[in-house]
Structure formats: structure tokens, C-alpha cells
Amino acid sequence: MGLWEQLYNPDFKPIEFERFKYESGANAFTLSPQQWIKVTGAIGITSKSGRYGGTFAHKDIAFEFASWISPEFKLYIIKDYQRLKQDEAKRLEIGWDTKRELSKINYRIHTDAIKEFLISPELTKQEAGYKYATEADILNIALFGKTAKQWRDETGNTKENMRDHASVEQLIVLVNLESLNADLIRQKLAAEDRLKKLRSVAYYQLRSLESSNAANKLKQNIQHKLEEK
């Protein structure tokens, strides 16, 4: 009760609380709810006398009392907390998949531009694959400052892609970079020139998203839609 008041009640009187805490070890110690409220200025418990009166506690305190009285109730609380955390983890995982799908859908525009303007019929499949990987790494360098291979070498993670570990802000910018790079490819700009433009745009957009809090709104909207489902 004292800890709860110290956390949530700026007018709580800690000195009086310490006195009660010290005296509570005596066998003759008694403390009524109204005395507790009057002396310490507590707000976590309310108590009124009379026909329609009673003593009521904030749910945090009520849960603590119930857990102290009933071990069975406490176990239910622990198990339910674990269930809620598991459900939350699943919702976040679904939300992350949704954001990744957004970048995958837009990547089709990017690959089509590569196919149309950078891959000639005489290229082998291996050479064409190298072209796609090179263009993907141009986006990676512009946004993350490193290639996919450099990320794998640094982390030792060979099963995942660094885009799987990207923030919401980074994924939003990645979607925009894919569209922009597709347009720059159609304009036949050299890879070096495209990288400079993409890096500049990535830097500007990341700063803009962080300052406007737009990514947080997207997170909240995705979470809200998932909860509705």
C-alpha cells in the first residue's frame, strides 16, 4: 500500500508511513482504513461509514490483497499474465509481417524496372540474378549503410535478412526508396548517381518520420486493426 502511494500519490506522507511500518511489528498494532487515509493522505483506499459506506481499494491494491489471501487466485493471475504476454507477442509478430508485406508488394515495381531497363536478353540467369542483388544492395547501402553480405558477416546470421530487423520508420522509407529507384532506373541514371540521391532521400525521410511521430501513428493503427480482428 505504501509503495503504491509513493508511485502514484504526490501528496502521500512518507514519514507517517514509515512510522506505521515500524509499529506494525508489534502484536498490539492496529490500523483502520480511515486512520491510514487520514494520517498518510492515502488515495489508493477509500472508506466511508454508514449504511451505504464501505472500504474500497484501487485494483492494484485489491489484487495484492486477494493474492495474499488466496494462493489459488495468485496462480490464476500469474497464468493469465503469461497468456496475455503470449497473445501480445503473436499480435506484434502479425503486425511485423504486415509491415514487411508492404515493402514486398512495392518491391515488384522495383524489380520490373530492373528487368526492363538493366537486364538485356544476352545475360545469363546468374548475371541477371547478380543485377537484382546489386540493385537491392544499393537500397540497403542507402538506407542501412551496408550490404546484405556485410550485415550477415557482422551478425553471423545467415538465416535472416537485415530488413527483417528494420524499424517501422526504416520500412516506410524502404518502400519510398524502391519506387524512387525504379524511376531513376527508367531515367537511365548511373548506379553511383542513384545511390547518392537515394541516400540523401533516406536520411531526410528518416529524420522527418522521427520528428513528426508518423511512424508511431502507423504502429498504433496497425495494432488497433489487429485488436479488432
Measured CA to CA, the distance from residue 98 to residue 96 in angstroms comes to: 5
Joined together, the cell numbers standing for residue 182 give 525504379
Q: Within the chain, which residues score under 70 in pLDDT?
A: 88-130, 132, 212-229
pLDDT in tens, 86-139: 776 665 555 555 555 555 655 555 566 556 655 566 656 666 556 767 888 888
Measured CA to CA, the distance from residue 134 to residue 123 in angstroms comes to: 15
Q: What is the pLDDT of residue 227?
A: 57
Q: Which of 116, 132, 135 is nearest to 181 (CA)?
A: 135
Q: What is the pLDDT of residue 59?
A: 92
Contact between 46 and 56 (Cβ < 8 Å) = yes
Q: What is the pLDDT of residue 185?
A: 87
Measured CA to CA, the distance from residue 148 to residue 199 in angstroms comes to: 16
pTM of the complete model: 0.46
CB atoms within 10 A of CB 174: 24
Q: Which of 49, 44, 47, 40 is nearest to 11 (CA)?
A: 40
Place of cell 487466485: 73
Measured CA to CA, the distance from residue 83 to residue 198 in angstroms comes to: 44
Count the residues in the chain.
229
Contact between 46 and 37 (Cβ < 8 Å) = yes
Q: What is the pLDDT of residue 25?
A: 82
Place of cell 522521427: 210
Amino acid identity at 183? D
